[in-house]
Amino acid sequence: MPHPLEELRDSALHETDSAPDEKVLDDVRVRYLGRNGSISAWGERMKTLNPEERPVVGKLLNEVRTAVIGAIEDRSGKFRAQKESDALTNIDISLPGTGRSGYSGYSGYSAAVTGYSGYLPLERGSLHPLTQMLERSIQLFRRMGFALADGPDIEDDWHCFDALNTPPEHPARNEQDTFYLPDGRLLRTHTSTVQIRAMEAAPPPIRVIASGSAYRRDEIDATHSAQFHQIEGLYVDENVSVADLKGTLELFMRELFGADTAVRFRPHYFPFTEPSFEIDVQSKALKGGEQWIEVAGSGMVHPAVFEEVNKARGDDAYDPEKWTGFAFGLGMDRLAMILFDIPDIRLFAQNDLRFLRQFA
């Protein structure tokens, strides 16, 4: 025969599991564990038991009480979780905030900012202007068939310079002085390093863009920063020509600055392209009207770059006699400054809400 306490336990557990709501569950708790509850009453009955029975019954009473309390707490937790879940189903989290009222911790600030004590409006956030510029640029190039590639900010000397036809004695290295780590690695001076890694990883044809930060030891002023942001592109295939380069970048510039934008290619020098071009734009939509503004660098990939990639790959996949390609680089900071008429590059990193609210 089971002990009466065991029968009480089984009955309490059954009623707990079948309780349909918190009110019924609380009735079960009172009926079994309340001051006059069935299980609690056994605490008083212990006084009437023989000394031999007390330890056995006392241990069983503790086990029964622990089991019933645990079951009731578990069941109550499930009811609370369900209630919270039901409440959230009626909330549209995409709606804008409605502000806070009566929160003393913000009352002084809200009075100073809004002129109304006790109320702090919740502002709608927005993307940083550089992020807007970056996402818009990526969107345009993706429409032209470019895939997005990625690479490390911390690079080795070969990927950053040697593979791009810029050996240690080359004067172009002086223009791209960067930050070096104790082990000889460095912070990349351009995202062209990702182009090299993309060619190492895959044979031609290849059409990629690489976005990210670049670093140089420039004197910081209104137009220069030690950290800036780029998108660089690479297209390698058979019979790629300057016409393909011009068509791609002219389309990009007109989509970005307006259909009436004039685009000019000026001869220039870069060690990793030949021929090389600086790109200027002219648009009535931009401040300055008829003024030509430099926006990018570009050119046809130098055969020496292909040869360095072949050495790294250990094959002849990028045979410069068979494959040609073009590359270009766009400064996101500069494009954003031109498009949004921003006078100082330092504004991008100062987190001044008066500046950032203009792009919300």
Please list the pLDDT of the chain residue by residue as tens digits (360 residues): 788 888 888 998 999 999 999 999 999 889 888 888 888 888 888 888 888 888 888 888 889 889 989 999 999 999 899 888 887 787 777 776 665 544 444 344 344 444 444 455 566 778 999 999 999 999 999 999 999 999 999 999 899 988 998 877 766 556 556 788 898 899 999 999 999 999 999 999 999 999 999 998 888 888 888 889 999 999 999 999 999 999 999 999 999 988 889 999 999 999 999 999 999 999 887 876 678 999 999 999 999 999 999 999 999 999 999 999 999 999 999 999 988 889 999 999 998 888 988 887
Q: Give the pLDDT score at 173.
A: 59
For residue 200, count other CB atoms closer than 10 A to its CB: 15
pLDDT of residue 154: 94
Buried b (16+ CB within 10 A) or exposed e, 290-300: eeebebbbbbb
* DSSP class of 36: T
For 267, phi and psi rounded to 5 degrees?
A: -60, 140
User: Residue 39, Cβ neighbours under 10 Å: how many?
Assistant: 20
Contact criterion met (CB below 8 Å) for 230 and 214: yes
pLDDT tens, residue by residue, 181-226:
898 899 999 999 999 999 999 999 999 999 999 998 888 888 888 8
Do 299 and 275 meet the contact criterion of CB atoms below 8 Å apart? Answer: yes
Q: 273-311, pLDDT tens digit by residue?
A: 999 999 999 988 787 667 899 999 999 999 999 999 999
- CB contact at 8 A, 347 and 292: no
Q: Residue 54 contacts by C-beta under 8 Å, 6 or more apart in sequence?
A: 46
Closest to 4 measured CA to CA, from 39, 34, 36, 32: 39
Amino acid found at 208:
V
pTM surpassing 0.85?
no
- The closest alpha carbon to 235, from 247, 222, 221, belongs to 247
Closest CA to 328 of 53, 174, 144: 144
